[in-house]
């Protein structure tokens, strides 16, 4: 069954369910990253959360959605906007708002359905990502309840990884406990440095070849 805005389902129930089934929801969303240029209003964080909502609703109706179907829903932005406004008007929690946690809350959290840690004043629940993490699940579990910023920086993560991280963010650290430390340099740029290196590496033979031609041309000019 394909879920869409016109099939007569009660969409509001789906939205409420979002908060109760965050883990499942986020796993659906993981492969359905918003696309550049899609018509989603609001700031990035805002729209990101709304996309998660829609994917969640789909998930609750059918336990095996295909990513393609979720994609269709993601692009149905006017409907999403309407839903979002309805929820807001009812005084429900703003879906774009991130919950504020204290550091000790994260440390003490013994909820088996959550694997929470802190990265640069943001709180992540990677429970549904454990099996998918390219660096392995162990390292994520080892950092449960901790501030993993330093280790995370030391490893270095690509741009894609950082885009993916947004999917698992469930909150922020409360104002008074924030470190306000920017991610280490290189954390963001590692990926681009690597691609720069690749580009430079691949163009070197070309420049040598062009230099050779120029040299031959100069010699030719002087000899004849």
Residue choice 23, 31, 158, 174 for contact with ligand HEM (CB under 6 A)? 158
Per rule CB under 6 A, is residue 184 in the interface with ligand HEM? no
CB of 223 to ligand HEM, least distance (A): 54
Residue choice 3, 59, 84, 168 for contact with ligand HEM (CB under 6 A)? 168
Residue whose Cβ sits closest to ligand HEM? 135
Q: What is d(CA 52, CA 27) in angstroms, rounded to the nearest whole number?
A: 10
Q: How many residues bind ligand HEM (CB under 6 A)?
A: 19
Per rule CB under 6 A, is residue 135 in the interface with ligand HEM? yes
Per rule CB under 6 A, is residue 160 in the interface with ligand HEM? yes
Closest alpha carbon to 72 in 38, 24, 45 = 38
Closest alpha carbon to 181 in 146, 150, 143 = 150
Residue in the block written with tokens 């885009």: 163
Closest alpha carbon to 162 in 128, 193, 135, 188 = 188
Cβ–Cβ under 8 Å, residues 67 and 32: yes
Q: What is d(CA 31, CA 68) in angstroms, rounded to the nearest whole number?
A: 10
Per rule CB under 6 A, is residue 186 in the interface with ligand HEM? no
CB of 203 to ligand HEM, least distance (A): 24
Under the rule (CB under 6 A), what is the footprint of ligand HEM?
A: 124, 126, 133-135, 139-140, 143, 148, 151-152, 155, 157-158, 160-161, 164-165, 168
């Amino acid at each position: 069954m394909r879920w869409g805005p016109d099939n007569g389902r009660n969409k509001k129930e789906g939205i409420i369910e979002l908060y109760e089934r965050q883990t499942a929801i986020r796993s659906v969303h993981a492969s359905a990253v918003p696309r550049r240029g899609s018509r989603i209003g609001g700031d990035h964080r805002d729209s990101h959360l709304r996309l998660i909502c829609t994917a969640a609703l789909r998930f609750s109706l059918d336990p095996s959605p295909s990513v393609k179907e979720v994609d269709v829903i993601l692009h149905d932005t006017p409907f999403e906007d309407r839903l979002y406004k309805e929820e807001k008007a009812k005084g429900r929690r703003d879906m774009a708002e991130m919950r504020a946690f204290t550091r000790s809350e994260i440390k003490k959290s013994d909820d088996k359905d959550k694997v929470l840690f802190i990265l640069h004043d943001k709180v992540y629940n990677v429970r549904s990502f454990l099996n998918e993490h390219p660096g392995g699940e162990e390292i994520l579990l080892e950092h449960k309840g901790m501030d993993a910023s330093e280790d995370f920086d030391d490893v270095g993560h690509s741009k894609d990884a950082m885009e993916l991280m947004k999917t698992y963010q469930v909150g922020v650290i409360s104002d008074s406990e924030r470190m306000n430390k920017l991610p280490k340099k290189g954390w963001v740029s590692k990926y681009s440095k690597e691609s720069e290196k690749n580009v430079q590496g691949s163009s070197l033979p070309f420049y040598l070849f062009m230099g050779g031609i120029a040299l031959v041309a100069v010699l030719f000019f002087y000899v004849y």
